[in-house]
Amino acid sequence: MKRKKSIQIAASGVMAALVCAATMLIQVPIPATEGFFNIGDVMIMVAALTFGPLVGAIAGGIGSSLADLLGGWYIYVVPTLIIKGIEGLLVGWICEKNNQSIQRAILAWIVGGLEMVAGYFIFQVFILRYGVVAALVEAPFNIVQMVVGGIIGIPLSLALKRRIQLQ
């Protein structure tokens, strides 16, 4: 039990740093919503699928919101903490059980990714009041982020799981 906690603490820190770095690596601004396209979802998928819901939530929330803070996207820091944290939590939770098949990973990716797309859409329409049209401008970028996150993140997680011993 103590070893598992140590692994979770270490993995949370390392994966949050990797999520932050991946998010900051490529940033394509979306002027209509003051948001940006990035590839941080790849590392959120890796964190959640490899280490579970707690690490997925911490890495997704803290890593992504730290990238917003460091990148000057201040309006998104708190919403990103929540939206990306929930994304990592959902993905990890869906794949937490022992039947971690590729189908389960794909389901987790779709559920988590759609939560992220919907979360930013709702935030932009109802909190920032940018309007539906502006939020719809960003939605395809978020969908591409989601797709890239799964297409790269799932195989990376599977490869990482084969290389490390978590038990």
pTM (2 d.p.): 0.95
Cα 9 to Cα 3, 51, 91, 161, 166: the distances in Å are: 10, 11, 18, 17, 13
Share of the chain above pLDDT 70, in %: 96
Distances from the Cα of 10 to the Cα of 40, 48, 59, 63, 162, angstroms: 19, 14, 11, 14, 19
State yes or no: pLDDT of 166 exceeds 70. Answer: no
Confidence label for 165 from pLDDT (cuts 50, 70 and 90): confident
Using left for φ > 0, alpha for ψ between -120 and 50, and beta otherwise, residue 4 falls in alpha
Which residues face 13 on adjacent strands?
Answer: none
Mean pLDDT of 98-104: 79
Q: What is the pLDDT of residue 164?
A: 87
**pLDDT number for residue 3:** 85
Domains of the chain: residue spans and CATH? 2-26+39-159 (1.10.1760.20)
pLDDT at 106 over 70: yes
- Angle 157-90-56 from CA coordinates, rounded to 5°: 50
Banded pLDDT at 167 (limits 50, 70, 90): low
